[in-house]
Structure 1
């Protein structure tokens, strides 16, 4: 029998909700529960939005901060091997490969706040270590560790935004601004480090630390947003208040032993890459686009410093049109969301297709990405004004953001509860490509020239741009054949059935109570979750 204090809250639709499972009482959020992150006020949600963007900005600024300081680092440490001079950025991106495999899955087990705080503290420590590095090998080691720490917000923040927005439209628009920050950070770093490194290249890393320090309040007051962890805290509090040891949260019913953590939680992103076609194809497409983005940090100095004779600081300013394109993409994304909503309201047949919610933007971005690469490659010439190749950055940034906004939101919409693992898989793959491809940039451009070098990657980009078109036509079949998508649908159905049972029980005991539909957890859902844990 349910404890008296528990029973009272169970029958209050505006407060706690409970579901009996064998000898356990499972707590969940009731309708309009103020502790549910999706019901938090606008002010609190805005703080989370701004805080997440600031943390991502710290991370992405750090990724390319050495680009304007490379010339000064080479002189100080007497490095003449050009390939070694790519490593301060590439090794940071290798850290981006390793970090999400840890932070993303663990955030789905222990909550969002711990990875964010730990990552922030380590990022500050290793940024300081980079500024104080006594040698080139030491700098490279610190950059690797700095990248691993900086991966925390990249892996977690998108999940945070999904936690506080259950409306796909609001979630998509929030993600649009978030992804603009991920692109703008690396773009503004080169000119900042290019100018400040005239004093000392170490000031580039001190600047990164100063910027990170400015976001300290955002991290200190960053709340936990992961509903299962919040319910776990609620259950712990109720056990203390009532003395009923049988009150648990859904997360308490899932094994958290070391074996389960290692074999299930931490391996989920890798298994999604291997077994989920939607994840693997998206990862490949985004990895190539991301790698080309970071290849630009090798190509632009060759073009604007080599061909046009600009200083590192001035050459860093040529990245700014890419930022303009990124923010234009945000406007297009928001316009399309409104256009789609109006089409759904009037009952347009095409708008009922789930794949049209995001993918058409990637279908536009893919070809534009190819155009921008050809534009840059064939206009970078002493006979053509520097403004012409620089302007290609507007189209490049626009296309890059449209691709990422569409494909990453598509993953979040498809995998919902496991969105962080899907995002971690994507982050891992694109960071791996981003770390490796730029190593080949200078040899490729030196061998075939800027024009044909850009053309090669443009032709490859053209080939993968068919992926969003394929998802539009075959996305439904892919989701139907996906074990993880099937598992999510089963859980949703079980939650709906459990709530109907709870509502029926409540209406029997309190016929006049006003019952609204809300989340709960059934015995079948928990049992199935435990049965499927090895594959999900």
Structure 2
């Protein structure tokens, strides 16, 4: 437990201020020596260059596969707390989109805003958290910074923007603060997957958007104000910020080794101890490193996994656009009260629980037994099998919802149809993100950041089309249009399973 707190931002700041006396580190053994050549030196009295002379550098590395500082060698308690930290971060951030939705009507009434302006509070937030990873992910990849400061500072700023939004006096302030809240609060989706892979391997938080929609609406009904959900969100993020400040250890290996090298220089008085990151970029400026990392992230996202990113982009767009149909159906057709409209999301929640259980059972009884065989090599494409089932579930959901949402059909039928969306969404994303993580293990944070940019930019813009779409097509053909798009996307996981290995063999980034 001492090591866990010592590696948190609280522990690192405490040791910085007390010269490592608050949470002392154990003595380190001297690492192996690595010879490093420098450029030729030129004498001031001669025009003849001397030959390069090797400089003895003490390369600081992990002592071996069992090094206790390696994140995957941490105790079960430490790993469990990391998992809880990332879950809290994801829950508090993803809640901010769904929990805001019930506030839109109140904002429109109080500030005289149009429906499009009210919906912008959701759209700008989603678009912003697609942009945020493009600079937060490179920032967290820098050995001098690491993951933890990005998490903590991002969560703190996100909390402050939520408070500012709740105190907003006009629609312009609310929209601006929602955008910047999404921009700076996107740390968990920028690097959350990378953190979990550094500790466990690929893993994602289960689908929970329906729960937050219910929770947010219940709070608004209780206190009868649109700001209630934002104050609730500020409270959640304040708790999360404190929790991760004290109990989220650093997982970036290059940062761990950089700080180990710094301790060795202090412990021995020998300035030749260097981590690999210090040897690679001895004189590169901070701004240059950020710029290069950002450009590399964007290049990687637009080159290798671009078809996968387009696929998730379309699914994400369908998700957010389809959710805008719910008030039209359950208020306009079935005349539900606000609480009943929120409870209509229970179909999605039931489907989410079912899909999570099914996915865990598939891992336990099918994937893990094959992966644990010493004579078997499992390719990343094996992760796509659940996604193939998910790709089939999405159009089933959309067509049922399209043609049963009418006064002559009982309201339970379209709600049953919505249950198919959760396994479609969850299984597809679980498969694709695990596939990306295993295909690009050296660039996992960059790949996840690029995927987030693609899907969130599209997902944030599409809800604005919902009113015109429903007005022109009606619920039947509007939802069916999304169903036809999902059918067109259906073959991709099957194609990727068959040809993914060949595509990876052409890449300089893939494993």
Q: 2:160 aligns with which of 125, 137, 140?
A: 125
Shift in alpha-carbon separation, 1:129–1:466, aligned structure 2, 3 A: same
What do residues 420-466 of structure 1 show as CA deviations (whole Å, max 9, x unaligned)? 00000000111101111111112111111111111111111111222
Q: In the alignment, which of 414, 420, 444 is matched to residue 389 of structure 1? A: 414
The answer on whether the counterparts of 1:197 and 1:203 sit within 8 Å (CA) in structure 2 is yes
- Equivalent position to 2:104, from 70, 73, 84: 70
Indicate conservation of the 8 Å contact 1:191/1:312, yes or no. no
Shift of 1:312: 2.2
CA shift digits 1:61-116 (9 cap, x unpaired): 0112221121111111112x222221010010121122110111211112110110
| Paired residue total | 456
Structure 1 match to 2:466:
441
Aligned with 2:280 (options 248, 254, 277): 254
SS of 1:385's partner is coil
**CA–CA separation in structure 1 for the residues paired with 2:253 and 2:370:** 32
Please say if 1:342 is aligned against 2:382. no
SS at match of 1:477: helix
Task: Decide which of 330, 334, 358 is 1:308's aligned counterpart.
Answer: 334
TM-score between the two structures when normalised by the length of structure 1 = 0.82
Gap runs ≥5 in structure 2: 1-27, 37-55
Rounded to whole Å, the distance in 1 between the matches of 2:507 and 2:174 is 44
Secondary structure, in 3 states, of the residue corresponding to 1:25? strand
Find the counterpart in structure 2 of residue 36 from structure 1: 70
The match for 1:429 among 447, 454, 458 is 454
Higher helix share: 1
Mark the runs of 5 or more structure 1 residues left unpaired by the alignment. 1-13, 166-170, 490-536
Q: Is the 8 A contact 2:381 2:501 kept in 1?
A: no
Partner of 2:311: 285
Residue by residue over 1:175-219, the C-alpha shift from the partner in whole angstroms, topping out at 9 and shown as x without a partner, is 14x2x1xx31x3223333323334211111111112222324422
1:297-333 deviation line (CA, Å, top 9, x unaligned)? 3111111111111122320121122122223222222
Residue 48 of structure 1 corresponds to which residue in structure 2? 82
Cα distance in 1 between the residues matched to 2:456 and 2:60: 39
For the structure 1 residues 44 and 343, does the alpha-carbon distance in structure 2 shift closer, same or farther, using more than 3 Å as the test? Answer: closer
Q: Is the 8 A contact 2:258 2:277 kept in 1?
A: yes
- Offset at 1:293? 1.5
Whether 1:99 aligns to 2:132 is: yes
Indicate whether 1:147 and 2:182 are aligned: yes
Q: Alpha-carbon deviation of 1:292? A: 1.6
Is the 2:381–2:496 Cα contact (8 Å) retained in structure 1?
no
The residue aligned with 2:211 is 188
CA separation in 2, counterparts of 1:428 and 1:376? 29
Deviates more, 1:415-424 or 1:217-226: 217-226
Distance 1:127 1:259, change over 3 A: closer
Contact map agreement 2:380 2:439 (CA 8 A) in 1: no
Q: 1:34 to 1:78 in 2, by over 3 A?
A: same
Alpha-carbon shift at residue 341 of structure 1 (Å)? 3.0
**Alignment counterpart, residue 228 of structure 1, candidates 254, 271, 275:** 254
- Residue 289 of structure 1: CA displacement? 1.1
Q: Post-superposition shift, 1:258?
A: 4.2
Can you list the C-alpha shifts for 1:1-43, whole angstroms capped at 9, x where unaligned?
A: xxxxxxxxxxxxx967535132212111123111111110001
**Does residue 83 of structure 1 match 2:116?**
yes
SS at match of 1:200: coil
What is residue 470 of structure 1 aligned with on the other side? 495
Once superposed, what is the RMSD of the aligned Cα atoms? Answer: 1.9
